[in-house]
Every structure is written in C-alpha cells, then in structure tokens.
Amino acid sequence: MSLRTDRIANQLQEEISRVLRDEVTDHRIKMVTVLRVDVAPDLSNAVVGWSLFEKDGEPDFDEIDEIESGLESAASYIRRKIAASLNLRRTPALRFNYDPSLRLAGETMEILQEIADDREAEEEPTNVEET
C-alpha cells in the first residue's frame, strides 16, 4: 500500500469504529472491534477486518454469522456517515470479514502461561533433606 492508502485506511478504521460504537443501533452488532481496514488503490472498496471480544470463551459460528449479517446491512449507513465526515472524493464500498486473531492471540497467551507455570514448577527446589 502507498502512504496515501495507509493514511486513508487508518482514517476509515477510526471512523468506522466511531460509527459502530456511537451511532449504529442494530441489536446484532455488539462488542465489535475493528482490527484493520484494507483499501483498494482506487478507493473503490475497503475490506474491514473485525473481531469480537468475548470474556466467556469464543463466539459460536451462529453468533459470528448474525453479527456479520448486521454489519453488512449497516454497511451503506456506515458508508454515508464516513462520506459526510471524511473529505474523500470517493468513499469505498465496505465489506466486513471476521478476523479470529484476537481469540487466537488469547489462546496463545494461555498456552504460553501454562508452559511458564510448568517450568516454574519443575525448577522449584524441593524441601526434602538428603540423609
């Protein structure tokens, strides 16, 4: 990507996040985090990578499909809001894709913590005196 498309992608990410947080009222869209926006060089399309922060484990496929459906139905509304707030000649069409990287990062951190705990347990000196 060029510097221009990088800058526009960052602006789009901030504005999409703001609109989702403050203005979209669709009950299907909840706890969505916009992770990245990939913009076509001609600004015709933008792919929005999103994830869901879940405290009680990973979301199921039905929940992801429902949220993605809500995002797709809100895409034209979000696009109009972006067009009104950002000074772009062309506002890209938005497509939303679920990105499981937050969930995978959490799982990786749990595994690393388990490994560290196991190593600590192995290295702890025992209090058994040799006679």
DSSP labels for 2-37? -HHHHHHHHHHHHHHHHHHHHT---TT--SEEEEEE
pTM greater than 0.85 (yes/no): no
Q: Which helix (H) or strand (E) holds 73?
A: helix 61-85
pLDDT at 121: 81
Long-range contacts from 1-10, C-beta under 8 angstroms, 24+ separation: 1/38, 1/39, 1/41, 2/41, 5/39, 5/41, 5/43, 8/39, 8/43, 8/88, 9/36, 9/37, 9/38, 9/39, 9/46, 10/37
The helix/strand/coil state of 95 is strand
Q: Which domain holds residue 60?
A: 3-100
Q: Is residue 106 part of a domain?
A: no
Query: What is the four-CA torsion angle of 101, 98, 95, 92, rounded to 10 degrees?
Result: -30
**CATH value at residue 84:** 3.30.300.20
Q: How would you write the pLDDT of the chain (131 residues) with one tens digit per residue?
A: 689 899 999 999 999 999 999 999 999 998 899 999 999 999 999 999 999 876 566 667 788 899 999 999 999 999 999 999 998 889 999 999 998 876 666 667 788 888 888 888 887 766 656 55
Answer whether residue 122 is part of any domain: no
For residue 12, being part of any structural domain is answered with yes
Determine, yes or no, domain membership for 62. Answer: yes
Q: How many domains is the chain built from?
A: 1
Report yes or no on 44 lying in a domain. yes
Residue 108 counted as domain residue: no
DSSP 105-128: HHHHHHHHHHHHHHHHHHHSPP-P
Residue with tokens 């989702």: 20
